[in-house]
């Protein structure tokens, strides 16, 4: 680090503010906020920093200068950060992007005869805004209901003042035509109030209000008006029933759900208006920012862009104090609650938003170019011989040292290749020995691969140095070349013996054959995600097969241990009753009715299955295990 930068770091204040990082051409590349500028900025240059973002690793090469702006509060830092991001659009900042524009409805209640109009962006005026609506069809349906039943004008203010005769909408009963007719303002205002209740989803007060108007019209012998209100009530009840009730609280909420795979992120904003779900929108990003920092930045940008600020904002995580203060101010002083819920209805809403984020995420796949870039970076960072288009991963699973099995899963260009999934039963290893098991499985895989000319670009072992050494020994024994081999060690808890220490986890580590220390890839990188997803799939596949083998072994060991019960009688019992549980529930007479089983054998079976558990000694266990775990490599059935 240059001397002038070190001097600037030493002179940083312990106050809230914003910092601007510039490259060597004096272009702003990153803008950040901090409660304490000195601590935050210096953390980028600590050697033991856990910040794995890509641009942090590049700072020594690209950073040319550093500027700071001191403010009074964290809220002011949020505001200034957003303004500077909009102004300079720094290369490494997360910026609000969306591929759609969403519509809102605007109702200017200060006008004598308000009209409902469609707008793209709410303005900070005194009008009422409803929405946003996630599709044009939903907003058209809303306007159709309003025009049909509440008869608000649709013409502009200029047309209202200059029209000389009623339009077609008045003739078909969709507008009261205040442009030319003497419509009483109080009557028109009643319709406006009803529209507000309808758009807020407040069905109870709206229906009650319309019923009161219907009764009043009936008493005045205005039967046509009463009939119109009756039909309006029936139609509105049907319309309101189709809206999804989200919460018993009739309030406006925005619920932010986040779904992430490595650096690819989708944030879904679920709109709840008057306690009912009205729509949502998805924001897609590519970033290695931590979730909390990403959410804070995007929420700040979203509402600073003149979007409607509801009474409650629900987030999955993050600091909320500064956002609460800032958004309360943007709402005009009416208090806004920013919540990170832990239980109740709000957690269910959050789960729904996350589900929508995941669905929206799944609709967007990486382009071919992006996949090639991920594989190239994986080759570079792990020092591989070639680009790992085809990867296989192996895992060992057992149940308390018994029923030892292994799994092989595969991927082609980071996507699962289920045709090359395999399940193995161990041939030579009879005890719990992960290293020996891995050596046997890889030996068998390499032999088959050499015979068929079918070997992957990269093999990933679930484990650490020991498992990697065993796999490498199998590779050397058979003279396999041009196949890269790595081991992926799971993240684990640290400081588990210190109850007072904050719980921490080690990073995922990749071990190479010719390197002493593991490689730690950025924990949100797509390269690591490609490996961990394959490793987790291998673990799932192995566990599923191991449980199946364990159940079969338990079933065999119990029935085969009954004196006088062999393969034929065991199959007859299971065919007749369907499961071991039903055999246990059967009486001696029921068992005796099974073909090839008489009363004497039935009595022995019943007595054996109903003796205390600790008395059931499996005398033939070793032989059963050898017979049940046969020499097999079976393709995946899942």
Per residue in 158-187, pLDDT (tens digit) is 888 888 888 888 877 778 888 888 888 888
Mean pLDDT of 491-520: 70
Q: Are the C-beta atoms of residues 94 and 117 closer than 8 Å to each other?
A: no
Mean pLDDT of 380-388: 92
Least confident residue range of 120-129, 458-467, 468-477, 568-577: 120-129
555 pLDDT tier (thresholds 50, 70, 90): low
What pLDDT, on the 0 to 100 scale, is given for residue 502?
42
What pLDDT, on the 0 to 100 scale, is given for residue 124?
67
Mean pLDDT of 191-208: 77
Phi/psi of residue 32, nearest 5 degrees: -135, 160
What pLDDT, on the 0 to 100 scale, is given for residue 400?
63
Query: Is the pLDDT reported for residue 457 higher than 90?
Result: yes
Beta carbons within 10 angstroms of residue 212's beta carbon: 11
Alpha-carbon distance 21 to 6, whole Å?
Answer: 14
Query: Is the pLDDT reported for residue 248 higher than 60?
Result: no
Query: Is the pLDDT reported for residue 96 higher than 70?
Result: no
What pLDDT, on the 0 to 100 scale, is given for residue 631?
35
Query: Is the pLDDT reported for residue 195 higher than 90?
Result: no
Q: For 586-626, how does the pLDDT look when each residue is reduced to its tens digit (9 = 90+)? A: 898 888 888 888 888 888 888 888 776 444 433 332 222 22
SS3 413: coil
Whose CA is closest to 323, among 300, 355, 350, 349? 300
Between 364 and 445, the higher pLDDT residue: 445
Q: Do domains 370-538 and 545-635 have the same CATH topology?
A: no
pTM (predicted TM-score) = 0.49
Correct CATH for 370-538 of 3.90.1150.10, 3.40.50.300, 2.60.40.1220, 3.30.420.340: 3.30.420.340
Question: For all residues of the chain together, what is the average pLDDT?
Answer: 79
CA distances from 234 to 229, 358, 430, 556, 613 (A): 9, 38, 74, 66, 67
Q: For 278-288, how does the pLDDT look when each residue is reduced to its tens digit (9 = 90+)? A: 667 888 877 77
What pLDDT, on the 0 to 100 scale, is given for residue 627?
31
Alpha-carbon distance 404 to 396, whole Å?
Answer: 7
Least confident residue range of 208-212, 310-314, 428-432: 428-432
| Reported CATH class of domain 253-362 | alpha beta
| The domain made up of 545-635 is a member of CATH 1.20.20.10 | no
Q: For 44-77, how does the pLDDT look when each residue is reduced to its tens digit (9 = 90+)? A: 887 655 565 667 777 877 888 888 888 888 878 8
Q: For 6-25, how does the pLDDT look when each residue is reduced to its tens digit (9 = 90+)? A: 778 888 888 888 999 988 88
Alpha-carbon distance 469 to 474, whole Å?
Answer: 9
Q: Are the C-beta atoms of residues 463 and 406 closer than 8 Å to each other?
A: no
Whose CA is closest to 254, among 330, 359, 364? 330
Mean pLDDT of 476-503: 72
Beta carbons within 10 angstroms of residue 136's beta carbon: 11
Alpha-carbon distance 512 to 522, whole Å?
Answer: 17
624: which DSSP letter? H
137 pLDDT tier (thresholds 50, 70, 90): low
Every domain of the chain and the residues it spans: 3-88, 103-245, 253-362, 370-538, 545-635
Q: For 391-439, how does the pLDDT look when each residue is reduced to its tens digit (9 = 90+)? A: 999 998 877 666 788 999 999 988 888 888 999 888 888 777 889 999 9
15: which DSSP letter? S
What pLDDT, on the 0 to 100 scale, is given for residue 51?
63
Q: Are the C-beta atoms of residues 470 and 439 closer than 8 Å to each other?
A: yes
Query: Is the pLDDT reported for residue 358 higher than 60?
Result: yes
Alpha-carbon distance 544 to 83, whole Å?
Answer: 53
Phi/psi of residue 487, nearest 5 degrees: -120, 140
> Cis omega before residue 67 (within 30°)?
no
Mean pLDDT of 108-122: 83
What pLDDT, on the 0 to 100 scale, is given for residue 49?
59
First to last CA, the chain: 54
CATH of the domain spanning 3-88: 3.40.1440.10
Whose CA is closest to 406, among 369, 459, 367? 459
């Amino acid at each position: 680090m240059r001397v002038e930068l070190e001097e600037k770091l030493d002179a940083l204040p312990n106050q809230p503010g914003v910092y601007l990082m510039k490259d060597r051409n004096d272009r702003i590349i990153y803008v950040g906020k901090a409660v304490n500028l000195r601590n935050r900025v210096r953390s980028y240059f600590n050697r033991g920093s856990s910040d794995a973002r890509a641009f942090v690793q590049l700072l020594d090469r690209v950073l040319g200068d550093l500027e700071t702006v001191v403010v009074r509060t964290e809220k002011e830092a949020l505001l200034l950060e957003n303004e500077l991001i909009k102004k300079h659009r720094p290369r490494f900042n997360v910026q609000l992007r969306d591929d759609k524009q969403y519509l809102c409805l605007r109702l200017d209640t200060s006008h004598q005869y308000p009209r409902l109009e469609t707008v793209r962006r709410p303005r900070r005026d005194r009008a009422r805004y409803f929405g946003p609506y996630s599709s044009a069809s939903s907003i058209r349906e809303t306007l159709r209901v309003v025009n049909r039943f509440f008869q608000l004008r649709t013409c502009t203010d200029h047309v209202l003042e200059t029209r000389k005769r009623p339009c077609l909408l008045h003739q078909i009963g969709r507008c009261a035509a205040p442009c030319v007719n003497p419509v009483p303002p109080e009557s028109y205002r009643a319709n406006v109030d009803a529209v507000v209740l309808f758009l807020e989803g407040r069905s109870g007060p709206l229906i009650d209000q319309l019923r009161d108007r219907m009764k009043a019209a009936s008493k005045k012998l205005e039967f046509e008006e009463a009939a119109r209100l009756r039909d309006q009530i029936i139609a509105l009840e049907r319309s309101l029933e189709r809206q999804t009730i989200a919460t018993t609280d009739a309030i406006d909420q925005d619920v932010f759900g986040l779904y992430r795979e490595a650096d690819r992120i989708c944030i879904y904003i679920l709109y709840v208006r008057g306690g009912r779900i009205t729509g949502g929108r998805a924001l897609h990003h590519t970033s290695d920012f931590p979730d909390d920092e990403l959410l804070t930045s995007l929420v700040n940008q979203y509402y600073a862009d003149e979007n409607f600020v509801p009474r409650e904002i629900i987030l999955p995580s993050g600091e909320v104090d500064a956002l609460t203060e800032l958004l309360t101010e943007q709402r005009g002083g009416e208090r806004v609650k920013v919540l990170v819920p832990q239980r109740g209805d709000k957690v269910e809403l959050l789960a729904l938003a996350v589900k929508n984020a995941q669905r929206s995420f799944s609709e967007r796949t990486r382009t071919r170019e992006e996949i090639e870039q991920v594989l190239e970076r994986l080759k570079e960072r792990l020092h591989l011989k070639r680009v790992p288009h085809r990867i296989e991963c192996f895992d060992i699973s057992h149940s308390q040292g018994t029923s030892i099995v292994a799994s092989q899963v595969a991927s082609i260009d980071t996507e699962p290749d289920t045709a090359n999934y395999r399940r193995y039963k161990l041939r030579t290893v009879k005890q719990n020995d992960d290293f020996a098991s891995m050596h046997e499985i890889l030996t068998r895989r390499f032999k088959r691969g050499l015979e068929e000319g079918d070997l992957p670009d990269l093999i990933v072992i679930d484990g650490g140095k020991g498992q990697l050494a065993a796999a490498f020994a199998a590779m050397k024994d058979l003279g396999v070349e041009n196949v890269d081999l790595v081991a992926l060690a799971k993240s684990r808890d640290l400081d588990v013996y210190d109850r007072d220490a904050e719980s921490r986890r080690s990073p995922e580590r990749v071990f190479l054959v010719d390197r002493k220390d593991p490689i730690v890839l950025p924990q949100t990188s797509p390269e690591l995600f490609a490996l961990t997803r394959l490793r987790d799939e291998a673990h799932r596949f192995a566990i599923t097969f191991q449980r199946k083998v364990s159940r079969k072994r338990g079933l065999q060991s119990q029935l085969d241990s009954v004196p006088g019960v062999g393969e034929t009688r065991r199959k007859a019992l299971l065919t007749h009753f369907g499961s071991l549980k039903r055999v246990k529930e059967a009486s001696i007479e029921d068992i005796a009715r099974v073909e090839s089983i008489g009363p004497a054998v039935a009595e022995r079976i019943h007595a054996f299955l109903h003796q205390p558990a600790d008395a059931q000694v499996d005398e033939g266990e070793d032989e059963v295990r050898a017979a049940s775990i046969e020499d097999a490599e079976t393709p995946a059935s899942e």
